[in-house]
Amino acid sequence: MMMNMMLVIILMFLVGNMIFVSKHKHLLIVLLSLEFMVLSVFFFFLVYLMMLDYNLYMLMVFLVFSVCEGVLGLSILVSMIRTHGNDYFQSYNLI
């Protein structure tokens, strides 16, 4: 049962990574794939720590940092939409 769960988690991470690499046209899709990868890493830590009978306090710290990462990504998305009108990467100059 645990091996099946680990395989599903690894598959989740790989699918999120493939979406991150292939869909680089919109910033929103990139941010959603990053959050999907963070969610798969969270599930991996959850299964691993429950298997070892450790305390799950470190998961709360991980969730706090992942929420902060999500908020920073959304703030970049909102500022990009306000200045350029869309979330295409090709519509603005990095310089």
- CATH code of 68's domain: 1.10.287.3510
Local confidence band at 91 (pLDDT 50, 70, 90 cut-offs) = low
- Tell me, what DSSP letter sits at residue 90? G
Hey, what are 82's tokens?
Answer: 């306000």
Hey, what are 65's tokens?
Answer: 């940092």
Q: Tell me the per-residue pLDDT of 31-82, one tens digit each, with 9 for 90 and over.
A: 899 999 999 999 999 988 888 888 888 899 999 999 999 999 899 889 888 8
Say whether pLDDT at 23 is over 80.
no
Give the predicted TM-score (pTM) of the model. Answer: 0.82
- The tally of domains found in the chain comes to 1
Residue owning tokens 């940092």: 65
Q: How far apart are alpha carbons 54 and 70 in whole angstroms?
A: 27
Residue owning tokens 């989740």: 12
Range of the domain at 84: 2-91
